[in-house]
Amino acid sequence: MILLDTCGLIALQDSGRALSEATRILLEAPGSQVFISAISAFEIGQKHNSGKLILPQVPAIWFPAMLRQHHVRELPVTSSISLTASALPLLHKDPFDRLIIATAKEHGLQILTSDQVIPTYPNLITLW
């Protein structure tokens, strides 16, 4: 079971060409379960609105279309996840990534990320 971080979802937009072959095979395997945190929608909206992320459509159309196209299920940001994120060591200062890390820990998921700091958290499996 895999949790996409925000850049993981963006990588899927380009048919996953930036991902390793092993990761693409894992994502496309029968029975593969792929998730994303609801916080990624907020992060994508913020980056798009600031001009840091160019999308072919507005985020309100692009995000749900990507989830449908790639069979990604959305996980909510719960109070438990928020509290777990706030208790994480301050290895990563980005609140979006801290919530994604906490979501992975809460649900026992691997994180698909190109972020270099996320893999430094203990008891966390990452791939790209």
Question: pLDDT for 2-14, tens place per residue?
Answer: 999 999 999 998 7
* Per-domain boundaries in the chain: 2-127
Question: pLDDT for 39-79, tens place per residue?
Answer: 999 999 999 999 999 999 999 999 999 999 999 999 999 99
Question: Which residue in the block uniquely carries the two structure tokens 């801290």?
Answer: 98
Which pLDDT score, from 0 to 100, does residue 20 have?
Answer: 87
* Second-level CATH architecture of 2-127: 3-Layer(aba) Sandwich (3.40)
Considering the entire predicted model, what is its pTM? 0.91
